[in-house]
Amino acid sequence: MSHIFLKASWVMVFVGGSLAGQTTPSVQSFFRQLARQPADSSLPTYDDVLKVVDEIPAATPDDITVALPVIVQALSHPNDGIKVDAAFALTAVAMRADSASLLEPHLAAINSLFDSANDRLQNSAVFIFSVLKPKPPQEIVPPLLNFLAKSDRDTHAQASAVGVLARYEPEDALVTTAIKNFLSRKLDPESRASAFNALRSTRVKPQIVDMIIAGLDDPNQGVRFTAVQVIPSLGRTALLQAQPALEKMANRPGETQDVKKYANEALAQIKGQ
């Protein structure tokens, strides 16, 4: 059964979840109609959405400004698929050089994604905040801290939030406490390794470095492998702080050769070799 998706200066027929048409709609037109769809309606295919989202990088600031209200409206749609499509469009906006100014009026709507039970939407919000250009506004910090403090959110998205906070506000005591509290939780190995990796090349406080160093003794090989790779990127002070644990790792019976290799490379870096 066909459903007329949009008919204006161009014609597009929404048939069985796929859009077929001779022209690609504007970003504003596409998401205006998407936001109006019934909750149980068929959705455009990924390729259809991609054709529209691909217009965003080259669009004028004015075109994006007029499109954003309807994209944000789609974020509150009861259908998660439509929300995901809208979040996808916002990630494309976030990667523009002028994204911080374009998205600043809509930060509250992006923040609302942290309250979604959908992992993809949580991850989208973190990604959007992580790439805002030329610089993220200060207003992103409180919602990220609040998100990181929750125990019922996707820990992989929270691990990514750790990296955003560490890069944006490494000296903030609230950020340090939030990261410490997160790393103190009983995380699955993949989430812990992701959090360590998100801290790569940051300049976090020594107490956070201590928690990454503790990862050198983690029972999970993936966590140990990530920790030993990340520590050298944290600077010479962190390397010196980790030296005893690195020496223990390099001489640990039964440790994998790959892990020992990185431990020895880190020790060589301390010695200036």
Q: What is the pLDDT of residues 14-44, one digit of tens each?
A: 434 444 554 779 999 999 999 999 988 888 9
Q: Is the pLDDT of residue 239 over 90?
A: yes
Q: Is the pLDDT of residue 268 over 60?
A: yes
Confidence of residue 9 (pLDDT cuts 50, 70, 90): very low
Distance CA 206, CA 95 (A): 32
**How much is the CA Rg of the chain, to the nearest whole Å?**
23
Q: Is 146 helix (H, G, I), strand (E, B) or coil?
A: helix
pLDDT attached to residue 269: 94
pLDDT attached to residue 39: 87
Distance CA 212, CA 183 (A): 9
pLDDT mean across residues, the chain: 91
pLDDT attached to residue 43: 87
pLDDT attached to residue 24: 78
Confidence of residue 1 (pLDDT cuts 50, 70, 90): very low
What's the whole-model pTM score? 0.88
Tally of CB atoms within 10 A around 54: 12
- Average of pLDDT values for 221-227? 98
68, 106 contact by CB (below 8 A): yes
